[in-house]
């Protein structure tokens, strides 16, 4: 499938769209420091292709093949990237599948731009992770560097090289916090979370289920599942949830 590029907000966004013959498609939103060629995205590309289901995936700014620096990355910027690609591809409401940070973005779509959302599937969804999970766990030295220099370097467990993050990631994300209040989401929501997730505690999905006002919300906890949930049995469960939403 050909990678396409879109000029948006001073950046060049990489995205892919595979057509299908089904009226409702799937949109995959990956996690922080992930890209549209990760294990779950590739699995969904094959799964959707065999069923004639349209699929859209993208690299946010500063991710994958898109332009930009991670030190300038913000949640609002990523949401704007998703909207820009949806405006190019979406034919009516879609099933939004969000992994980790992508789950936060899916929730922002569902609450602020519901015209794009038929249903949502969250995989270790991580709303508010910058404020509630990431910043509190920063070492004191890194917090001081952020405060005085506006940026700091952090190890990244998913790639060998450290990453540079900016204070703006934390400051700007305050505009997008969701778990402080009820979430008016009435479309079907399916949440998957591993009990062995060391990055986003599974209690996050339980809190999210409580915050969503709609009744059609289910959380599936996988006792031996980790944060990625990329084992064959995890992917099969993901496909089952998506199929139900479709």
Q: Which two tokens stand for residue 165?
A: 């993050």
pLDDT at 160: 76
Could you read off the pLDDT of 135-144 as tens digits, one per residue? 999 999 999 9
Q: Which two tokens stand for residue 154?
A: 């952090």
Q: Which two tokens stand for residue 55?
A: 């699929």
Structural domain total, the chain: 1
Mean pLDDT of 41-54: 97
Report whether pLDDT(214) > 80.
yes
Q: Which two tokens stand for residue 150?
A: 């506006």
pLDDT at 90: 84
Distance CA 96, CA 103 (A): 9
**Percent of the chain topping pLDDT 90:** 95
Nearest to 214 by CA among 242, 191, 238, 182: 182
Report whether pLDDT(157) > 80.
no
pLDDT at 209: 98
Contact 209, 224 (CB under 8 A): no
**Percent of the chain topping pLDDT 70:** 99
Report whether pLDDT(164) > 80.
yes
Residues in CB range of 102: below 8 A, 6 or more apart: 28, 29, 30, 31, 34, 123
Could you read off the pLDDT of 92-141 as tens digits, one per residue? 999 999 999 999 999 999 999 999 999 999 999 999 999 999 999 999 99
Report whether pLDDT(159) > 90.
no
What's the Cα-to-Cα distance from 58 to each of 18, 121, 183, 197, rounded to whole Å?
A: 12, 17, 26, 25
Which residues, in sequence order, are bridge partners of residue 190?
A: 121, 218
Helix (H, G, I), strand (E, B) or coil at 111: helix
Please identify every residue annotated as catalytic.
Answer: 100, 197, 227
Contact 101, 131 (CB under 8 A): no
Could you read off the pLDDT of 184-210 as tens digits, one per residue? 999 999 999 999 999 999 999 999 999
Q: Spell out where 66-188 has E strands.
A: 94-99, 117-123, 151-154, 163-166
Contact 181, 208 (CB under 8 A): no
Range of the domain at 234: 4-245
**CATH number of the domain that residue 90 is part of:** 3.40.50.1820
pLDDT at 30: 98
Mean pLDDT of 61-69: 96
Q: What is the pTM of this model?
A: 0.97
């Amino acid at each position: 499938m050909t990678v396409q590029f879109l000029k948006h907000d001073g950046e060049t966004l990489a995205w892919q769209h595979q057509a299908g013959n089904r009226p409702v498609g799937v949109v995959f939103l990956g996690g922080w420091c992930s890209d549209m060629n990760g294990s779950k995205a590739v699995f969904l590309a094959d799964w959707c292709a065999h069923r004639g289901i349209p699929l859209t995936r993208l690299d946010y700014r500063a991710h994958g093949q898109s332009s930009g620096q991670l030190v300038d990355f913000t949640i609002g910027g990523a949401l704007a990237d998703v909207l820009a690609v949806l405006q190019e591809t979406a034919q009516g409401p879609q099933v939004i599948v969000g992994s980790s940070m992508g789950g936060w973005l899916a929730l922002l779509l569902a609450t602020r731009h519901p015209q794009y959302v038929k249903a949502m599937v969250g995989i270790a969804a991580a709303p508010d992770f910058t404020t509630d999970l990431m910043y509190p766990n920063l070492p004191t030295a890194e917090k001081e560097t952020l405060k005085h220099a506006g940026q700091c370097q952090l190890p990244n467990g998913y790639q060998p090289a450290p990453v540079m993050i900016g204070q703006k990631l934390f400051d700007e994300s305050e505009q997008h916090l969701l778990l402080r209040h009820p979430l008016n989401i009435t479309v079907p929501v399916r949440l998957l979370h591993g009990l062995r997730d060391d990055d986003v505690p599974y209690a996050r999905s339980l809190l999210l289920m409580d915050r969503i006002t709609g009744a059609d919300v289910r959380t599936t906890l996988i006792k031996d599942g980790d944060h990625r949930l990329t084992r064959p049995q995890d992917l099969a469960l993901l496909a089952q949830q998506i199929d139900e939403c479709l």
